[in-house]
Amino acid sequence: MRVVVFGGDGFCGWPTALHLSARGHDIVIVDNLARRNADVELEVSSLTPITPISTRLKAWRETSGRRIAYHNFNVAEDFYRLTSLFDDFRPDAVIHFAEQRAAPYSMKSERHKRYTVNNNVAATHNILCAIVESGQDIHVLHLGTMGVYGYGGGAAIPEGYLRVELLAPDGRRVPREILYPADPGSVYHMTKTLDQLLFYYYNKNDRVRVTDLHQGVVWGTNTEETKRDIRLINRFDYDGDYGTVLNRFLMQAAIGYPLTVHGKGGQTRAFIHIRDTVRCIELALLHPPKSGDRVAIYNQMTETHRVEDLAKLVSSLTGATIQHLPNPRNEAPENDLIVEAKSLIELGLKPTRLEAGLLEEVVQVAKQYADRCDRSMIPCTSTWLRQKQDRPDSETLQLRLNAVSSAQGGERPSQYE
């Protein structure tokens, strides 16, 4: 198949592009390197030494004999680059990872909130609108999040849709199936709930075929393909904004830093290993909805865990100590989470469960690059409520913006305005 991977330089997009290329699909990556620029802004780097995208692509050509094309443009802004790409490449499918994906980053300041909304919602809308303009029947696969459902509620969370009964004026009960009520917990999560409505509309009005994958927190770092050559290594985020909970614990254990549990650690979250992420996307690509089908929504996760239990597990494997810190988020101190996730299993997914060997593998990667870790970047400093915010002074903010600006060759990208 011909596939465009939007956001194909990112943590999930890069291994997905390689996985699909290795299986004979013809891949084009579109990425404006916003994620690399966020590293410059935040003054932090991936724990693993990721190489520039041209080096990555060359390494892939040399190790696999296969080419991946690359375009650097902003999906949220360069609409006509999108339409020309669809006209020239005529993709069978597009995979949309190109969004600002960190909840803490989305809550840092009004600028980060506006950037996240403008970037994510416009990127999704531009892709859908360009597909309609192209007149082609292109399947859209989107990476959504389990966070669109909110956390808890006592009953199992279905895959996207909820059966309800409406009460008619004459007392009849009218059955309906509706999108599960959105309950975002951050500005980032809110953009994903807005994406859902965009998909609903373009599917209903223009019959665009869409698969929305509501993904859990991804852990692990490498896949079969990214391990083939050091230049293909995947990114590993550990900082307080982009690092996700389990990878952070594993990395903290590797460098002898106490595991940072926020509050009592009663938050329950859904998880998936990066190797399963790429398999799920492949399965969804190979099993698209038919024309006229409603948006297919799959819960892309393999297990749920309480944060405190994960910390205890990592501590028991590694001897790391646990540190309880005030929770910067505005969320329930504890929640249950029961999730239905049958669709991808029915399509053939064999779930990778959390087990000591895989956890140890991540600890080893983190140990290997421990000297690249800046410990001052580990604490979560972005807060959900304004009064809690420890804002950088204007001089620090300006220095960060200057750093981004010089990384861009002097021109500050509009998403940082």
Ligand X SMILES: NC(=O)c1ccc[n+]([C@@H]2O[C@H](COP(=O)([O-])OP(=O)(O)OC[C@H]3O[C@@H](n4cnc5c(N)ncnc54)[C@H](O)[C@@H]3O)[C@@H](O)[C@H]2O)c1
**2-6: strand order across its sheet:** 69-71, 26-30, 2-6, 93-96, 139-145, 210-215, 296-300
Dihedral Cα 142, 146, 150, 151, nearest 10 deg: 180
- Is 388 noted as a catalytic residue in this protein? no
Bridge-based pairing state of the strands 268-273 and 303-306: antiparallel
- Binder of ligand X out of 5, 29, 32, 249 (CB under 6 A): 32
Give the H/E segment covering residue 89: helix 79-89
- Is 188 noted as a catalytic residue in this protein? yes
- Binder of ligand X out of 3, 4, 5, 9 (CB under 6 A): 9
Beta strands in 216-317 (DSSP E): 217-219, 259-262, 268-273, 296-300, 303-306
Is 217 a residue that touches ligand X (CB under 6 A)?
A: yes
- In the block, tokens 């296969």 appear at 66
First to last CA, the chain: 38
Phi, psi (degrees; rounded to nearest 5) at 63: -85, -25
Quick one: which segment of 31-39, 288-296, 312-320, 384-392 binds ligand X (CB under 6 A)? Answer: 31-39
Query: By Cβ distance, which residue is nearest to ligand X?
Result: 10
Quickly list H helices, 303-378.
307-318, 343-346, 356-368
- Binder of ligand X out of 5, 12, 27, 190 (CB under 6 A): 12
Q: Are 131 and 208 in contact (CB under 8 A)?
A: yes
User: What are the tokens at 201?
Assistant: 């509309």
Is 35 a residue that touches ligand X (CB under 6 A)?
A: yes
CA 68 to chain centroid: 21
Smallest gap from Cβ 216 to ligand X, in A, equals 7
Smallest gap from Cβ 167 to ligand X, in A, equals 36
Quick one: which segment of 30-38, 127-135, 281-289, 323-331 binds ligand X (CB under 6 A)? Answer: 30-38
- Binding-site string for ligand X from residue 125 to residue 164, where x marks contact by CB under 6 A and - marks none: ------------------x-x-------------------
Which residues make Cβ contacts (< 8 Å) with residue 172, sequence separation at least 6? none
Is 101 a residue that touches ligand X (CB under 6 A)?
A: yes
**Of 192, 226, 238, 277, which one is the catalytic site residue?**
192
User: What are the tokens at 73?
Assistant: 């443009």
Q: What's the Rg (C-alpha) of the chain?
A: 21
Question: CA-CA distance, 251 to 249, in Å (whole number)?
Answer: 5
- Binding-site string for ligand X from residue 169 to residue 208, where x marks contact by CB under 6 A and - marks none: ----------------------------------------
Is 39 a residue that touches ligand X (CB under 6 A)?
A: no
**Of 16, 48, 145, 221, which one is the catalytic site residue?**
145
Is 218 a residue that touches ligand X (CB under 6 A)?
A: yes
- Binder of ligand X out of 17, 29, 57, 75 (CB under 6 A): 75
- Binding-site string for ligand X from residue 307 to residue 346, where x marks contact by CB under 6 A and - marks none: ----------------------------------------
Q: Are 224 and 235 in contact (CB under 8 A)?
A: no
Q: Are 202 and 289 in contact (CB under 8 A)?
A: no
- Is 242 noted as a catalytic residue in this protein? no
Is 301 a residue that touches ligand X (CB under 6 A)?
A: no
Count, residues near ligand X per rule CB under 6 A: 27
Smallest gap from Cβ 229 to ligand X, in A, equals 20
**Of 151, 188, 257, 298, which one is the catalytic site residue?**
188
Is 253 a residue that touches ligand X (CB under 6 A)?
A: no
Is 123 a residue that touches ligand X (CB under 6 A)?
A: yes
Q: Which amino acids are annotated catalytic?
A: 145, 188, 192
Q: Tell me which residues touch ligand X (CB under 6 A).
A: 7, 9-13, 30-35, 74-76, 97-99, 101, 119, 123, 143, 145, 215, 217-218, 244
